[in-house]
Amino acid sequence: MEITLDTHAFIWYLDKNLNHKLSPKALKAVKEAEETDTIYIPIIVLMEILYLIEKGRVNLSFHKLLLNLEESINYEIVPFDNRLLKIAETIKGLEVHDRLILATAVLTGSPLVSSDRQIHAKGIKVIW
C-alpha cells in the first residue's frame, strides 16, 4: 500500500531507537510500503527535518538522508507545486506545514501515517 509520511512518523522510523514511538500498525505500514510500494515524502517534511537537525533536536545527516531518498525506488519526494497549493487551500484549521502534508496525502491518494489528532479529524484515511 502506498503511504504518505508525516514528519514525526518519518523521524521515528528513521531512528531505530525511536521506532517504539510508532504504533504497531504504523510501523508495519511503513515497513511493508518500503519493501513493495511507494512512500511519499512531502517536501515540507524534509524542510522540517532539516530545521530540526540544524537545531540539534534530531541526530541525522541531512545530506545522507536526501541522497538515500533520491536513490531509493520506494521513496518519492513530493514537491510543492500549484496542484498541491490548490488542495492545501481547501484545508482549513491546520498550520501551514500540516496543510501541505495533508494535501500531499490527498494528491497522491494515499493514507497518511500520523499520530496528529487534528489531522485525524480532517476525514482522510490515517494510519496510526
Per DSSP, 17 falls in state: G
How much is the pTM?
Answer: 0.93
pLDDT of residue 122: 74
pLDDT of residue 124: 84
Q: pLDDT category, 120, cuts 50, 70, 90?
A: low
Hey, which bits of the chain come out as E strands?
3-5, 39-42, 75-78, 112-113, 126-127
Angle between helices 7-14 and 43-54 (to 10 degrees): 60
Which domains occur in the chain, in start order? 3-127 (3.40.50.1010)
The values of phi and psi at residue 66, to 5°, are: -60, -45
- Residue tagged 512512500 (cell numbers): 39
